[in-house]
């Protein structure tokens, strides 16, 4: 039963949402079957128990006995109860989305009033829709779609009364539809371009060349103040022509001007486009874009954009720490780790916090703290496990603790050999790090000839992790 779709959905509900769903189920407009109420309570009781206190199985026969104490189990009927509850839960989710969008509700009300020809309500429902539109906080593509629907429904309300010689609101209908269409096509095209930088995929998107050409010609006179068109067109330019940094600079200005016009989740995706641009610049040797990355991440934190999905991505957490360390903003980075650790998904929290704190202390040369954090930790994920061992090896070397270093190198080598599930290319870069670290410990300080031989070999080797640190230590030995 716990593997069912119904149970999986109920697991995502917190106590507040459970209470709202309970009220929904008890509404006779949506549900008149008392057995559905009982089944819901039985399932949520199990969902709310801690994992360790749940019985091994949630038995359907026991659930049936609670529903019908005096009747023999009927599989067809029990499945019907589960199916009906699932449909009601899905209807509740749709209802919640409907209630959260007053613009959509107002538009549908116009349509309903027009369908019933309730002429006395025409003016009031239009005033309500206009008020919601004026107060709506976002101006993403969806806003223009709702405006298109509103204007279309208004036209349908008044079509019978319009005289042939009078000008209608056809222009508003068409303009809003155009803004929605252009913005959505640009958004999709930008997503395609970003994906194509990672994997080789082809899409056939109609009218893209015509859309780009049209916006290029009319951006300033028609679309400069339409946030989704202006922003996504600039993302397109920055993505297609990364060598022309002026496109990124303009995108950054547009983000400062328009980002509040987008819902947080869409704003997050938009900012990722700027983040990815900067990362690519750093990869290609433009170190000055480290500061751009740092500024972008700080802005996203200030505006709560990074928490748009309700939690902080471990990928973002790690990148922010890395950028903060490269900027040598050590106090800021430590404060960030402390302030945002509880926003990480619970299953990643311990690993992410421990490893990133250890990395921070390593950069600050507080080596005993690094050892204290990493020596007794065994990470569940290979990525953290492997990188933490590299960090601990580097720490022992910095502390000139060569006995534990040699012991760790040997145990690390054995670990790489035993875990065949580690991809061969990853195994090789970590094995090579062990090999070069061992060479470091055997070199005599001042033996320039021997040091330069290892240095030349390392510089030519593209399959080694933490290469910059190794090269730095070789320079120190000269």
The per-residue pLDDT for range 68-107, each reduced to its tens digit, is 999 999 999 999 999 999 999 999 999 999 999 888 999 9
How far is residue 72 from each of residues 37, 69, 228, measured CA to CA in Å?
A: 20, 8, 60
- CB-based burial, 131-144: b 16+ in 10 Å, e otherwise: ebbeebebbbbbbb
Joined together, the tokens standing for residue 392 give 């601990």
| 251-295 confidence digits (pLDDT tens) | 999 999 999 999 999 999 999 999 999 999 998 889 999 999 999
This model's pTM is above 0.75: yes
Residue ranges per structural domain of the chain = 5-99, 378-478
Long-range contacts, 384-387 (Cβ 8 Å, 24+): 384/351, 384/352, 384/355, 386/422, 386/426, 386/430, 387/355, 387/465
Which stretches of the chain score pLDDT less than 50?
Answer: none
**In this predicted structure, what is the pLDDT of residue 164?**
57
pLDDT given for residue 2 in this prediction: 81
pLDDT at 362: 96
Whole-number pLDDT of residue 240: 94
Query: How many C-beta atoms surround the C-beta of residue 272 within 10 A?
Result: 17
């Amino acid at each position: 039963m716990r593997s069912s779709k119904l149970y999986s959905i109920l697991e995502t509900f917190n106590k507040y949402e459970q209470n709202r769903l309970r009220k929904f189920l008890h509404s006779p407009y949506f549900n008149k079957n008392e057995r559905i109420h009982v089944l819901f309570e039985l399932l949520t009781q199990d969902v709310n128990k801690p994992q360790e206190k749940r019985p091994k199985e949630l038995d359907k026969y026991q659930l049936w006995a609670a529903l019908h104490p005096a009747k023999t189990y009927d599989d067809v009927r029990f499945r019907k109860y589960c199916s009906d509850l699932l449909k009601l839960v899905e209807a509740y989710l749709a209802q919640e989305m409907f209630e959260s969008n007053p613009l959509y509700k107002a538009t549908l009300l116009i349509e309903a009033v027009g369908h019933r020809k309730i002429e006395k309500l025409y003016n009031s429902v239009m005033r309500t829709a206009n008020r919601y539109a004026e107060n709506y906080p976002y101006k993403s593509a969806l806003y223009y779609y709702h405006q298109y629907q509103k204007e279309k429904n208004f036209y349908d309300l008044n079509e019978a009364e319009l005289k042939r010689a009078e000008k209608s609101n056809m222009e508003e209908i068409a303009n809003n539809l155009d803004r929605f269409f252009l913005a959505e096509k640009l958004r999709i095209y930008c997503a395609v371009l970003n994906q194509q930088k990672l994997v080789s995929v082809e899409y056939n998107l109609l009218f893209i060349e015509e859309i780009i050409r049209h916006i290029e010609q009319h951006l300033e006179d028609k679309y400069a103040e339409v946030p989704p068109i202006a922003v996504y067109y600039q993302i397109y330019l920055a993505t297609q022509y990364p060598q022309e940094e002026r496109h990124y600079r303009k995108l950054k200005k547009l983000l400062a001007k328009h980002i509040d016009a987008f819902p947080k989740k869409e704003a997050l995706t938009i900012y990722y486009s700027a983040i990815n641009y900067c990362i690519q610049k750093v990869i290609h040797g433009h170190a000055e874009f480290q500061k751009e990355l740092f500024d972008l991440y700080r802005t996203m934190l200030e505006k709560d954009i990074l928490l748009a999905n309700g939690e902080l991505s471990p990928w973002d957490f790690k990148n922010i720490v890395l950028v903060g360390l490269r900027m040598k903003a050590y106090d800021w980075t430590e404060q960030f780790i402390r302030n945002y650790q509880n926003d990480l998904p619970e299953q990643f929290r311990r690993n992410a916090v421990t490893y990133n704190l250890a990395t921070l202390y390593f950069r600050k040369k507080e080596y005993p703290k690094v050892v204290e954090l990493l020596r007794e930790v065994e990470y569940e994920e290979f990525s953290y496990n492997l990188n933490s061992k590299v960090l601990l090896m580097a720490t022992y070397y910095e502390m000139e603790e060569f006995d534990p270093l040699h012991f760790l190198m040997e145990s690390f080598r054995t670990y790489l050999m035993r875990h065949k599930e580690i991809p061969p290319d990853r195994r090789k870069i970590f094995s090579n790090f062990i090999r070069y670290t061992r060479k470091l410990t055997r070199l005599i300080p001042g033996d320039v000839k021997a040091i330069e031989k290892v240095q030349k070999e390392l510089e030519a080797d593209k399959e080694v992790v933490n290469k910059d640190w190794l090269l730095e230590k070789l320079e120190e030995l000269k």
